[in-house]
Amino acid sequence: MRSADSGSETAQTIAALVRDAEACPAEAAQQLARLLAHSLASPSTADRREARLGLLIDLVSSGTGEFVRSEDYETERERRRARGEEWPAASSLSRAYGHWLTAVRAACRYWFDGGQSRVCSDHHHARPTKSYKPQEIRSALLQAQAELDVGSDGWPSEWEFYEWSTIKRRLARQTGQPCRLPGRKQIRKAFGSYANAVDAARRVASG
């Protein structure tokens, strides 16, 4: 996001040029003034990206503590469209942010931390964690499969699972709800690897 300081520095530079009549004739001064006005009025790339997140931020801030699935977003988007509101499709947000999970995390950061400039001071991650039973880990993987757009036969990648679990814990913490999801250590301790844990969850899912 463009800072006020950078805008002030630009204004001071142009003002210095304008004061020098020989270095900046009237026509050039007018062009510089128009350029400055456009520069300060035009939203930055970060501004435009945050504006796209409005509906997603709304859903994150609803206080339910639930992960916002892309289909939930689309349902609300269609409802809002009937009221005359226009919001980007979930697929557009996924492209803009690289992944739906990244878009949801950006919306969480904007709502809970006030944008990208603040750092969360919550030290919840430093609290001791009880051991996870294998069935708890399998259940977490099945839940992630249900909430992420991976298809009935697909499974979240390791990155998708940990990103999803981070968002879920954050939402639960902010709304005061319990949330117990395993991290890398717990999964490796129980199954040796994430891939092994997915294989175990797949066997449960297939009956």
For residue 184, which amino acid is it? R
HSE at residue 117, side-chain half, CA atoms within 13 A, is 7
pLDDT tens across the length of the chain (207 residues): 444 444 445 455 545 545 554 555 566 556 555 554 544 445 555 555 667 899 999 998 887 788 999 999 999 999 999 999 999 999 999 999 999 999 999 999 888 877 544 334 343 443 445 788 999 999 999 999 999 988 777 999 999 999 999 999 988 888 788 888 999 999 999 999 999 999 999 998 887
The answer to whether 17 and 24 are in contact (CB under 8 A) is yes
Give the length of the chain: 207
In this structure, what DSSP letter does residue 83 have?
Answer: T
The pTM for the full model equals 0.66
